[in-house]
Structure 1
Amino acid sequence: MKSCLPALAFTLVLVAGCTTTPPPEPPQPERLSQQVARSTLERAQQAYDEGDYAKAITTLKSGGVSVFEAAEPATRLDAMKLEAFSYCVANQVPECRAQFRKLMDAFPNFDLTVAERKHPVWGPAFEAAKRMKR
């Protein structure tokens, strides 16, 4: 019996080593796309908050449509709205209106909040884009 103990212990170690948990599943493409879109949006929002509107615009555009195409609708809407606001405060009003038109094409029920409509630049740009849409 003494001679079997080392062999039994070795077998138990081998069996215990074989019962490891499987590695985690790789991220699904949808989740990865959403993560990339959120990360891009966060970088653009940070640039906007720091007053670097040109960087906010280029960050949103650097991802291209593909980054936000696969994103959840709320993320896509937030990115499009931030781009419009960035154009407006960068005094690129025609681009701001065009971005609002794209936003309304993608989200027909989109509207600014009451407070946002009162903004001296993007409020009128949004209303002009809305009139052009009709």
Structure 2
Amino acid sequence: MKTLRNILLLAWLGMLAACAAGPGKMFESKANQSLSAGIENYNEGRYPEAVKGLQSALDQGLGVSDQVKAHKYLAFAHCVSGKERLCRDEFKKALEINPNLELEPAEAGHPIWGPAFRAAKAKKPDAKK
């Protein structure tokens, strides 16, 4: 009986800890957790960690819109790290998934990845201009 009580207590503590992580985190897929961590690392300026997390998310399997988001953030991370070819390649991958992808106005005006995105989009024959 004491063992069962300990197991239930541990299960309850685990659920409590998962809830403390935030709404929805308890049921979020491993791929989506990696995507969130990758974006957070990007926003904190930890670009190598962001690239690792974002690529991991893609490898683990994301939904279509999240794949586009991961490739977009990979492009951003590569651009700010001076890896312009990798930046363009990631934008191309995002555009292959969603040929109508557009950057947000603030993103499109960025001096590094704005031109890289426009160049990748111009090379897509089925992209709308």
Q: TM-score, normalised by structure 1?
A: 0.66
Does structure 1 residue 124 correspond to structure 2 residue 124? no
- Of 35, 39, 59, 1:41 maps to 35
Say if 2:42 and 2:77, in contact at 8 Å, map to a contact too.
yes
Instruction: Name the aligned partner's letter for residue 112 of structure 2.
Output: V
The structure 1 residue matched to 2:55, chosen from 51, 61, 83, is 61
Q: Counterpart in 2 of 1:13? A: none
- Residues 37 and 75, structure 1, Cα contact 8 Å, conserved in 2: no
The residue number in structure 2 matching 1:50 is 44
Deviation at 1:66, TM superposition (A): 3.8
Q: How does 1:1-134 map to 2 (within 5 A)?
A: 35-68=29-62, 71=63, 73-134=64-125
CA RMSD across the alignment = 2.0
**Quick one: distance in 2 between partners of 1:38 and 1:79?**
10
Q: Deviations over 1:73-104 (max 9, x none)?
A: 33222212111111111111100001101100
Structure 2 letter corresponding to 1:76: Q
Contact 2:55/2:70, CA 8 A, preserved across alignment: no
Residues 116, 63 of structure 1: alpha-carbon distance in 2 compared, 3 angstrom cutoff: closer
Q: Name the SS of the counterpart of 1:95 in structure 2.
A: helix
Contact 2:54/2:70 (CA < 8 Å) preserved in 1?
yes
Q: Which residue of 2 aligns with 1:29?
A: none
Query: What's the CA shift for 1:59?
Result: 1.3
Other-structure match for 2:14:
none
Could you say which structure has the larger radius of gyration? Answer: 1
Cα 1:103/1:34, change in 2 over 3 Å? farther
Structure 2 residue ranges without an equivalent (≥5): 1-26
Task: Give 1:125's aligned amino acid.
Answer: A
Q: Secondary structure at the match of 1:97?
A: helix
